[in-house]
């Protein structure tokens, strides 16, 4: 197909049509895929049980800490994709009890986020304002920031990001720092306390041993540190790793500032060098752009059709592996840096 003279609107329709067609073919070939509610619930419970099993295996000394962290991170990354689907009400749309139970489960598995009911609002806003100054969801993760030490630092932790950038973020529509922080209570607060307590104690303990300070800890601290270590290994560190990988992938793949079309909102990251990051965010960089075109598609179908859709996406102007966007502060243009575009893009909603 010669796409040189095709409008952006038609290119968007070409991609959307290809995605929906691939979905239909897959469902016709495998009718079990039509049972979307059941599949979503099985994945949710399977990932939750898997994460719990990892923790129990670590506590019982069956697996080492590093293995627990790696496996729990993968299960937590699945819960992120499930939450994404639940935000769009792709499972149990007519059964609020089951849907909200699943929302609670995926939040428990990923405590370092705002609650998913509030995130539903900012995620819908993300689709409407993607690439603009009012895209709360992506800007709190560093989208549009100049590349440097500060951007690398804030990719480690979302709470750190919003705390270090209050002046920069405060002018976003419908955003307030303290209100945003409260939307994470109580799980995100517990996560922050455990994470920084773990880092502070072990940092101090390292210095105590390295410099032979011979500081003796009170006896009552021993069981506290034991509980802290367990909580860190089975719950907090897996999500710290998941968030670090996800934040870096999403910060590269979303464009910012000169976005005036759905075609410019995202690129596809499927380069082999990103595999270590993709492993811990469930291949997000390679499939999330598909979601921007068809939001009604569950995440597991995106994974299944991605390779078939790539040629259509390339043919219609979607970029692949444009790592230079990070150096350009996520600008789409590869030369002049444009001013942030305040208009919203809503073709996919």
pLDDT band at 342 (very low <50, low <70, confident <90, very high): very low
Per-residue pLDDT of 103-125, as tens digits, reads 999 999 999 999 999 999 999 99
Per-residue pLDDT of 81-102, as tens digits, reads 999 999 999 999 999 999 999 9
Nearest-angstrom CA–CA distance, 299 and 97: 22
pLDDT at 340 over 60: no
Per-residue model confidence (pLDDT) at position 336? 52
Best CA proximity match to 106, nearest among 88, 124, 87, 125: 87
Nearest-angstrom CA–CA distance, 19 and 26: 11
pLDDT band at 5 (very low <50, low <70, confident <90, very high): low
| pTM for this model (two decimals) | 0.92
CA dihedral 204, 210, 211, 214 (to 10 degrees): 70
Per-residue pLDDT of 159-212, as tens digits, reads 889 999 999 999 999 999 999 999 999 999 999 999 999 999 999 999 999 999
Q: For the purposes of burial, counting CB atoms within 10 Å of the CB of 230, is it exposed (0-12), middle (13-18) or buried (19 or more)?
A: middle
* Backbone dihedral region for residue 320 (phi beyond 0: left; psi -120 to 50: alpha; all else: beta): beta
Instruction: State yes or no: cis peptide before 186, omega within 30 of 0.
Output: yes
Per-residue pLDDT of 9-20, as tens digits, reads 999 999 999 999
pLDDT at 244 over 80: yes
pLDDT band at 29 (very low <50, low <70, confident <90, very high): very high
């Amino acid at each position: 197909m010669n796409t040189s003279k095709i409008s952006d609107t038609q290119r968007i329709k070409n991609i959307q049509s290809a995605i929906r067609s691939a979905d239909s073919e897959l469902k016709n070939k495998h009718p079990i895929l039509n049972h979307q509610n059941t599949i979503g619930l099985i994945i949710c419970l399977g990932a939750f049980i898997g994460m719990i099993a990892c923790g129990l295996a670590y506590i019982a000394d069956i697996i080492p800490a590093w293995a627990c962290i790696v496996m729990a991170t993968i299960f937590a990354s699945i819960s992120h994709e499930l939450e994404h689907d639940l935000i769009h009400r792709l499972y149990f749309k007519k059964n609020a009890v089951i849907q909200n139970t699943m929302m609670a489960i995926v939040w428990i598995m990923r405590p370092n986020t705002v609650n998913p009911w509030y995130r539903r609002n900012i995620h819908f806003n993300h689709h409407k304002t993607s690439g603009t100054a009012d895209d709360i969801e992506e800007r709190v993760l560093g989208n549009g920031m100049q590349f440097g030490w500060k951007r690398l630092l804030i990719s480690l932790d979302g709470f750190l990001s919003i705390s270090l950038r209050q002046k920069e973020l405060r002018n976003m529509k419908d955003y307030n720092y303290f209100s945003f922080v409260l939307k994470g209570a109580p799980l995100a607060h517990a996560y922050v306390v455990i994470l920084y307590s773990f880092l502070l104690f072990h940092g101090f303990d390292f210095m105590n041993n390295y410099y032979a300070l011979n500081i003796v800890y009170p006896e009552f601290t021993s069981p506290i540190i034991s509980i802290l270590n367990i909580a860190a290994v089975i719950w907090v560190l897996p999500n710290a790793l998941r968030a670090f990988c996800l934040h870096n992938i999403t910060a590269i793949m979303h464009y910012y500032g000169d976005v005036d079309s759905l075609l410019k909102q995202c690129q596809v990251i499927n380069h082999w060098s990103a595999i270590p990051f993709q492993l811990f965010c469930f291949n997000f960089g390679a499939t999330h752009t598909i979601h921007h075109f068809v939001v009604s598609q569950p995440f597991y179908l995106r994974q299944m059709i991605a390779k078939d859709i790539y040629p259509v996406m390339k043919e219609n102007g979607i970029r692949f592996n444009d790592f230079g966007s990070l150096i350009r502060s996520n600008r789409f243009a590869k030369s002049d840096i444009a001013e942030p575009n305040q208009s919203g893009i809503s073709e996919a909603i």
